[in-house]
Structure 1
């Protein structure tokens, strides 16, 4: 039976062209909108504090978008430069001492400072691996970001011999910045090869945008089969418990 090419109607072609245009334009338009909104938001915060003699909006017949963002980046860089020397560190310690005497403010400041230092520090190894854990019940798997093994009070109290607890972050769909912090035994985590960026894409798209992955050929009883690393790890773990 020969293959007969299927002819598309004019409306079908128009629909396909429209959908193709949406796929091409929508990401560009949304990205441009978010960037434009962010620039205007920063300008609205920074420009009122710029002296009139240095604000180009007072000399030009139109507003200069992004000038406030440039000033903010310059000021942040200068603050970081000044803080790196002895005088700057002394000023920062004096300011932190004042905040430390405020009962409510000091807790918020210390928590935020620790978070930013952990996230922005070059020595940070947080969220270096993507994994899977059985949650919220057996047989149902959830994607998690593995924070790494650390010697904490939690580990000292709950670790099993040869099987320490590992901190993992389970993000929520479609916002990967919110989720749950869980401590899971290392033997219960199935590590994946995908990057943190690919894992975030998978979460944001609700599973629609999955990273490409080629299954590895595995031989069982002389017969080649196709199985992924995650499936192989799960199968080995189940075989070990039986």
Structure 2
């Protein structure tokens, strides 16, 4: 019995160690990857002012400072009259190059949608029936107006992005009938945490079982809801 008690304590200590060290390790790995990625921006500097040549050693994280400085300076230039004219002139040149035009316009549209704050894209977590009608998947609304796609299908459809787990940067772009999309109360951050954690981290909900039951009953009696 004492041996069993000792094994149980060792197992508990082992699990406790995993719960402490694994999140720290994953966080450090992600930060190291980000720092190394941004440090590559230092390669844009002339050799004479490279940190290795100036100080004799590399400075981890200096690329983050440089990247932030470039973003701030670019934003300051683009926000004034002359900067806007310069950006417009550069865009006209890029839009005349066949392949570059498609890449630039597409990436610009994505950036404007994601960061301008003027779009509802990726602001509403939803549930959709995927990959079949008897299962559900977390998704994010990307577009409420699909133009030709909505006309061709003859259905009121919504564009959604279904991220993969545990890596939400890859996923599937789907068009789902609006009446099959269930809006959620959880925030985008909470939905992402649930996806990254393989569904283990479920955000708290203010509703209760009776509220959910009444909602399901309303949907059953009112299919257009």
Is 1:213 equivalent to 2:208 in the alignment? no
Question: 2:146·2:158 contact (CA, 8 Å) conserved in 1?
Answer: no
> Are positions 1:24 and 2:24 aligned together?
no
Residue 38 of structure 1 corresponds to which residue in structure 2? Answer: 34
Q: What residue in structure 2 maps to residue 128 of structure 1? A: 123
How far did residue 240 of structure 1 move?
3.8
* 1:133-144 → structure 2 map (5 Å cutoff): 133-144=128-139
How many pairs does the alignment contain?
Answer: 222
Matched, 1:238 2:220: yes
The residue number in structure 2 matching 1:119 is 114
| TM-score after normalising by structure 2 | 0.84
Distance 1:148 1:51, change over 3 A: closer
1:153-172 matches, cutoff 5 A = 153-156=148-151, 158=153, 164-172=156-164
1:52 CA displacement = 5.7
Inter-partner Cα distance in structure 1 for 2:86 and 2:34: 31
Deviation at 1:75, TM superposition (A): 1.6
Partner Cα separation in structure 1 for residue 110 and residue 14 of structure 2:
45
Partners in 2 of 1:42 and 1:240 — Cα distance?
52
* Aligned-partner Cα distance in 1 for 2:137–2:69: 42
Gapped regions of structure 1 (runs ≥ 5): 1-5, 217-225
2:69 maps to 1:77: no
Q: After TM superposition, what 4+ stretches of structure 1 lie above 4 angstroms from structure 2?
A: 51-56, 156-160
Q: Does 1:185 align with 2:181?
A: no
Give runs of aligned pairs for residues 72-111 of structure 1, distance below 5 A. 72-111=67-106
1:88 Cα offset (Å): 1.5
The Cα offsets for residues 48-91 of structure 1, whole Å up to 9 and x where unpaired, read as 33346655544545422112221221122101111112222222
Per residue, is there more helix in 1 or in 2?
2
Q: How far, CA to CA, are the matches of 2:163 and 2:33 in structure 1?
A: 26
Greater Rg over alpha carbons, structure: 1
CA contact (8 A) 1:125 1:148 kept: yes
Q: Is the 8 A contact 1:127 1:146 kept in 2?
A: yes
Q: CA distance change for structure 1 residues 180 and 235 in 2, over 3 Å: closer, same or farther?
A: farther
Taking a change above 3 Å as real, the CA distance of residues 46 and 190 of structure 1, as seen in their structure-2 partners, is closer
Q: Which runs of 5+ in 2 are unaligned?
A: none
- Two-structure CA RMSD over aligned residues (Å): 2.7
